[in-house]
Amino acid sequence: RSMVPKPRHTKTEHKKRSHENLFTGVRKMAIESVGIIGTGTIGLCAIHWCVKRGLKPVAFERNNHIGGIWVAEEPPCHSPAYDSLFTNSSNALMNLSDHPFPFKTSSAFPHHKEISTYYETYADKFELRKYINFLTEVTRVYKKDDKWIVLTSAGSSYQFDAIMCCSGRLWDPVLPRWAKTVSNPIDIIHSHQYRNTSKYVGKNVLIVGIGNSALDISLELAQDPNVKSVMVSCRRGTTIIPTRDGKGNPVDKRLTSRMFNYWINSAMRALLFGRLVQDVNKKFRKYGLPEPADGMGAPRAPFSN
């Protein structure tokens, strides 16, 4: 190992070197117009920051409202939001950095209607609606020379320097192959279509999966005395992370705090995390939920809130 000390750089020199490294080998492009597909969380942020950076955004929204999947409607529809849905992240982490919640939420974990209202206030605060084409579905996007061409359901054609695809990934339900081959006279639906317990009175219900939606829906069904029985089926183990600690405080505030992530070493973090989840997971293990194959603290171990 060389004992020669490394040269020290001033902040100005460091910024200059970082800037040079960033653009090394990258062809400079003159971007002015930007097409944005979708006006959910990311789409609204994209419009706002494009405007702030001096770009000219044009957004396309196939519904008549902003907010994406947070705007609940009766199925078949774009949103998977069921009546009782609330966030599994606390309001401190759900708001955008430049727009704190302008109203007090009903709890530390806002209801989906409150999130929808929040994005309405975000769009109004930054005057984003004038950049949006509502009831306009994008049917095709392709590149021609150095421009991106966008075709819409209205038969219109647009040309842009860049495209931001903000259409999300939770609006298109996918059923497993076996669900399409079941011959028994039973109702099989995707959680995207679930709204409340009213259709399951007197029925035995099987929930397939152990993700966040599965946990929410199974709990709601189990608490309804008119539902005959509820069973959860999962193909592998997982770790259940509670949304609140023993004192009722949001867990995510602790797990994302600077102290937890930077001031505490990895061994101590693993110990604290284990203590946080062990009581909840003991109850799930008692009823048959296996542990993840690599253990609860493994880097890629699955988890659900």
Q: Work out the end-to-end distance of the chain between its first and last CA atoms, rounded to an integer number of angstroms.
A: 47
Contact 124, 132 (CB under 8 A): no
pLDDT at residue number 267: 85
User: How much is the mean pLDDT over the chain?
Assistant: 86
Q: Between 84 and 18, where is the model more confident?
A: 84
d(CA 184, CA 187): 9
Question: Quick one: how far is CA 271 from the chain centroid?
Answer: 28
Give the model confidence (pLDDT) of 266-299 as tens digits: 888 878 888 888 888 888 889 888 888 777 666 6
The pTM (predicted TM-score) of the whole model is: 0.82
Q: Summarize pLDDT for 221-246 with one digit per residue, the tens.
A: 999 999 999 999 988 888 888 898 88
pLDDT band at 260 (very low <50, low <70, confident <90, very high): confident
Per-residue pLDDT at 219 exceeds 60: yes
Share of the chain above pLDDT 70, in %: 88
CA geometry: angle at 218 spanning 213 and 224, to 5°? Answer: 130
Angle at 181 between CA 175 and CA 186, to 5 degrees: 80
Contacts of the segment 296-304: beta carbons below 8 A, 24+ positions apart: 296/239, 297/270, 297/273, 301/238, 301/239, 302/236, 302/237, 302/238, 302/239, 303/238, 303/239, 303/240, 303/241, 304/210, 304/211, 304/212, 304/214, 304/215, 304/238, 304/239, 304/240, 304/241
* Separation between Cα atoms, residue 71 and residue 65, nearest integer Å: 8
- 126 versus 21: the higher-pLDDT residue is 126
User: 160-171, pLDDT tens digit by residue?
Assistant: 999 999 998 878
- Nearest to residue 208, comparing CAs of 193, 221, 191, 194? 191
Dihedrals phi, psi of 214, to nearest 5 degrees: -60, -45
Residue 32 is which amino acid?
E
For residue range 158-205, list pLDDT tens digits in order: 999 999 999 988 788 888 888 878 777 678 899 999 999 999 999 999
- Torsional sign, CA 20, 22, 25, 26: negative
